[in-house]
Amino acid sequence: PLSNPDPLAGHPHYSKVKDLGIGSFGSVALYQRKEGRGEPSLCAVKFMPRSGPGVDVNLIQREIQSHRVLRHPHVIRFKQLGLTNTHIFMCMEYADQGDLLGFLRRKGPLPEADARWLFQQFIFGLDYCHLKGVVNRDLKPENLLLKLTPEASKRHSNTFNLHIKIADFGLSKRAAHSLPKTRVGTINYMAPEVLLAGPSQRYDGHKADIWSAGVVLYAMLFSRVPFEVMHEPAAAQQQQGQQKQQQQAGAARDRAATIQRILEGDWAVPPGMTVTPQCLHLLTQMLVPDPAHRIPMAAIMEHPWFRSGLPPAALTMN
């Protein structure tokens, strides 16, 4: 359904297909885009209001600066920037298989080989971003999009037909600007040093991204996050107002307990589930609370679990 008003209505090169979702500051819709004389192609267009309450021009500029420098098979491709009377819009590559969060909800825990295939691509994309001076700071399954490989047939969709693409640079920071000192992102995927960040306490965004990538790997293997604390819901016979108050208090307690577990690096393999010792070793190296002792990107790419099944050429792709 064409529910949101279409900022590109009447545009000679764009025709709207459907809404795709709402991002951290802006909406995304699917469009057909005419390019030259060829067939129109599908693209995702992200709209950000040019003015109004809560519009942060610095954040918009940062997203655009971050994204324009990135060209890699495992990063969503930036195609065009434009202006309407009301919006800034960014035209980007469309990933036709949704996001990793939806994929994990449908599939449950992935077999180790499937998780590794997606993780390898994710790490190559992330390493490339870091080499280009872009730290993402908001890595989580909903910002990792999936696209069928060109040779895949739509009938036989298995994990090995999927390419993962890093998207949503709304919170990224070009390393050239400064060390991040603000708290951004989603608590379950946030590194301890990000939770502790403030004006006087800076952190290295590259290392924070590696922690988040470790949480993403855990989520792929076990279909849950490692640090989340969930409380028991309030009993149904209580008054509604009382129940709501208890729920709010419970949520605040859970959040505090989750933060505590993140700061302590307190996680375990879920009961009844197993992974190979090599896989567990890599997770243990990534989810180290002290960033100074966390595994660096180069060592992830040298790790035997990561290298298993990789074509030799892949290691030099960046």
Q: What is the CATH number of the domain that holds 188?
A: 1.10.510.10
State the pLDDT confidence band at 236, using cuts at 50, 70 and 90: low
Q: What is the CATH number of the domain that holds 84?
A: 3.30.200.20
Residues with Cβ within 8 Å of residue 302, at least 6 apart in sequence: none
- Structure confidence at residue 85 (pLDDT): 85
The pLDDT tens digits for 41-72 are 999 898 887 777 666 667 667 667 766 778 88
Please tell me whether residues 190 and 68 are part of one structural domain: no
Contact 50, 88 (CB under 8 A): yes
Q: Which of 53, 71, 93 is the last residue of a domain?
A: 93
Residues with Cβ within 8 Å of residue 274, at least 6 apart in sequence: none
- Tokens 């209001």 -> residue: 49
Question: Domain count of the chain?
Answer: 2
Ramachandran quadrant class, 266 (left: phi over 0; alpha: psi -120 to 50; beta: rest): beta
Please tell me whether residues 168 and 108 are part of one structural domain: yes
Contact 95, 143 (CB under 8 A): no
Residue 94 annotated as part of some ligand binding site:
yes
Least confident of 96-110, 193-207, 270-284: 193-207
State the pLDDT confidence band at 80, using cuts at 50, 70 and 90: confident
Residue 93 annotated as part of some ligand binding site:
yes
Q: Is residue 241 part of a domain?
A: no
Residue 168 annotated as part of some ligand binding site:
yes
138 labelled catalytic: yes
Options 56, 96, 127, 138, the catalytic residue = 138
Residue 142 annotated as part of some ligand binding site:
yes
Task: Return the higher-pLDDT residue of 63 and 156.
Answer: 63
Q: Is residue 132 part of a domain?
A: yes
Q: Which of 93, 123, 147 is the last residue of a domain?
A: 93
pTM of the entire predicted model: 0.83
Between the ranges 99-108, 159-168, 222-231, where is the mean pLDDT highest? 99-108
| HSE (side-chain half, CA atoms, 13 Å) at 6 | 16
Contact 183, 153 (CB under 8 A): no
Residues with Cβ within 8 Å of residue 54, at least 6 apart in sequence: 25
Distance CA 238, CA 242 (A): 7
Q: Which of 53, 68, 93 is the last residue of a domain?
A: 93
Residues with Cβ within 8 Å of residue 190, at least 6 apart in sequence: 183, 208, 211, 212, 262
Beta bridge partners of 88: 48, 83
> Could you tell me the residue range of the domain that residue 20 belongs to?
14-93
| Mean pLDDT value across residues 9-19 | 92
Please tell me whether residues 49 and 120 are part of one structural domain: no
Residue 95 annotated as part of some ligand binding site:
yes
Q: How far is CA 227 from CA 52, 114, 188, 268, 292, in A?
A: 37, 23, 7, 9, 21
- Structure confidence at residue 182 (pLDDT): 45
Q: What angle do CA 112, 115, 119 make, to 5 degrees?
A: 135
Please tell me whether residues 134 and 29 are part of one structural domain: no
Q: Which of 33, 132, 41 is nearest to 82 (CA)?
A: 33
| Mean pLDDT value across residues 80-107 | 88
- Structure confidence at residue 107 (pLDDT): 95
Please tell me whether residues 156 and 273 are part of one structural domain: yes
Task: Return the higher-pLDDT residue of 316 and 210.
Answer: 210
Q: Which of 163, 128, 127, 113 is nearest to 278 (CA)?
A: 113
Q: What angle do CA 279, 282, 285 make, to 5 degrees?
A: 150
